Amino acid sequence: MSDESIPENKGIPNFARRAQRGVSSAASSERFLDTREKRIQRRFSIREVCDFLGMSRSVVKEWMDAEDAPTPIFKGRENTLSLHDIMKLRALAASRKPIPGARSRKPTLFWRKPGDPLPVITFSSQKGGVAKSLTAASVAQFSSLYHGLRVGLIDSDAQATLSLYFADTSIDVAGIDTETFTKFMGVPTPGEEPLQHTDEELDAFWQKTPWPGVRLIPGGAPIQEADISMFLMSQGKDPKKRRVYRLLKDTIDRWSAAHPPKTQPEDLRDENGKFLDDKFEAALNETFDLIIIDCAPALTLTQLNSVVAATTLIVPNTLKGFDLSTLGVYLSSLDDYFTFTQSDINPIEFPPLPSYILPTNVEAGNHSDVELVGELYGNDPEVICPVYFQHSAAVANAAKDYLSIYEYDPPKSRKRSADLFKANADAVADAILTRASPNIQPRGFANAFLKEKYEGVIPPWTPEPEEASDTDRDVSDDENDSMKVEV
């Protein structure tokens, strides 16, 4: 591929060389770069910030008045905050010293504590175009916006769709030499010895994105080559070498052991209550609270690694007849693979968490789609997520530029449909995240969806969160007063 000369026309090899030249120059064309250059300019109104934090306006206003609080920028007709500002606001609130005798506070930062497990959610299915990448991006951004999670993203698709939702121009995406997860997990070029990385080298694979605390191992061409390497690796006599399906899991475990959660919110201030910005910035990249993996539409060895590394598997799929039969084939292959891996003397340990088929692109007016969700749920409520993604015209406009619904700032005429789709994305993410990571507090979005769509036939997904009203003031008035002095 790197050889410059064009072979004389001997059919397909000649085509491959010529065509890839043309396409790779088009790939760096303006629009592609433009999207990444503009990432991320979206700012959020105080009203949106209140929604993300789950706090009333008066509480957020008070936090904004504190000495170290981020300075909003007046834009349009309102004050706005950046993503980084929102994360800092969470940390400021979470790090305040508790007041003896005051009511306990609603948490604002859901960082892992030492010893907490690291959830890994993998999005995988046999079919392309079923919203795997869109859902992966949206769950990751929801986790950051609504819970302040630090998220590790692994794009295990050479097409690098997930990467394009996050990367700015500083990250090499979808290239021939992109440092992908296959290199992270030590897969060499075909026929060579497996790569050995130090803990620091492993950490360097995660590249910073414009989202605070969100780092990415981008997708790219080496992922395809890795399947051949891994097949060759698996041919040895040593049974350890034959376990090529668990390289990613073992690598994440090793990285995770070397980069555990250390900093807690209360460590972010000195003894005088001053907020420690350096410590906060360092803590953003200290570890992850969640890893999200987006797969290519296949069950090859590389993709099997992405499934085996998961603690929760989400299988997005549309529900048309033919798509369901593809889904059946995928699930039976997966079942066969696990029969093989779990019969090993050293089987993979999975935590007892649920995994789900996620219906996507469901046509609201199409009763057979919705009935099918009901039928699958009736057969086994443990395998299908009844909170599904509805088809939306709004998302196509945003997705063209690799913007998730959270980053998309629609023109007025599209505002309503964009808001509806955002509410849908909130519900799906709330449903997935609360089951994948039991430490995360439900926000009630999944429950609201179930109530609206199934009118009580399907029970609430999670216990109802406390009613949000003025009583959601998380501190007593006394404390608010003292806070102004304290912070």
Partner from Mg ion, ligand ADP, none binding residue 360, C-beta < 5-8 Å depending on class? ligand ADP
Output 13 or 129, the one with its CB closest to ligand ADP.
129
Site string for Mg ion, 133-152 (x = CB under 5 A): x-------------------
**Could you give the 3-state DSSP secondary structure of residue 29?**
coil
Least distance from ligand ADP to the Cβ atom of residue 397, Å: 8
Which of 128, 239, 354, 459 binds ligand ADP (CB under 6 A)? It is 128
Output 72 or 316, the one with its CB closest to ligand ADP.
316
Partner from ligand ADP, Mg ion, none binding residue 389, C-beta < 5-8 Å depending on class? ligand ADP
Omega within 30 of 0 (cis) for the link into 121: no
Q: Should residue 127 be labelled a site residue for Mg ion when binding is judged by CB under 5 A?
A: no
Q: Should residue 161 be labelled a site residue for Mg ion when binding is judged by CB under 5 A?
A: yes
Q: Should residue 396 be labelled a site residue for ligand ADP when binding is judged by CB under 6 A?
A: yes
Query: Which residue type, as a one-letter code, is found at position 480?
Result: N
Q: What are phi and psi of 436, to 5 degrees?
A: -80, -30
Q: Should residue 302 be labelled a site residue for Mg ion when binding is judged by CB under 5 A?
A: no
Least distance from ligand ADP to the Cβ atom of residue 260, Å: 31
Partner from ligand ADP, Mg ion, none binding residue 399, C-beta < 5-8 Å depending on class? ligand ADP
Which of 95, 122, 133, 447 binds ligand ADP (CB under 6 A)? It is 133
Q: Segment near ligand ADP (CB under 6 A), from 9-17, 192-200, 385-393, 454-462?
A: 385-393
Least distance from Mg ion to the Cβ atom of residue 457, Å: 32
Query: In 3D, which of 458, 460, 462, 463 has the Cα closest to residue 378?
Result: 458
Site string for ligand ADP, 88-127 (x = CB under 6 A): ----------------------------------------
Least distance from Mg ion to the Cβ atom of residue 298, Å: 11
* Structural contact between residues 312 and 121, judged by C-beta atoms closer than 8 angstroms: yes
Q: What is the chain's percent helix, strand, coil content, to nearest 5?
A: 45, 10, 45
| Cα→Cα distances 227→189, 234, 264, 294, 417, Å | 10, 11, 40, 17, 41
| Cα→Cα distances 431→80, 294, 408, 427, 463, Å | 28, 18, 22, 6, 12
List the structure tokens of 201.
């080298």
Between CA 341 and CA 346 the distance in angstroms is 8
Q: What are phi and psi of 178, to 5 degrees?
A: -55, 135
Q: What are phi and psi of 123, to 5 degrees?
A: -105, 115
Residues of this chain that bind Mg ion (CB under 5 A)? 132-133, 161
Residues of this chain that bind ligand ADP (CB under 6 A)? 128-134, 161, 360-361, 389, 391-392, 395-396, 399
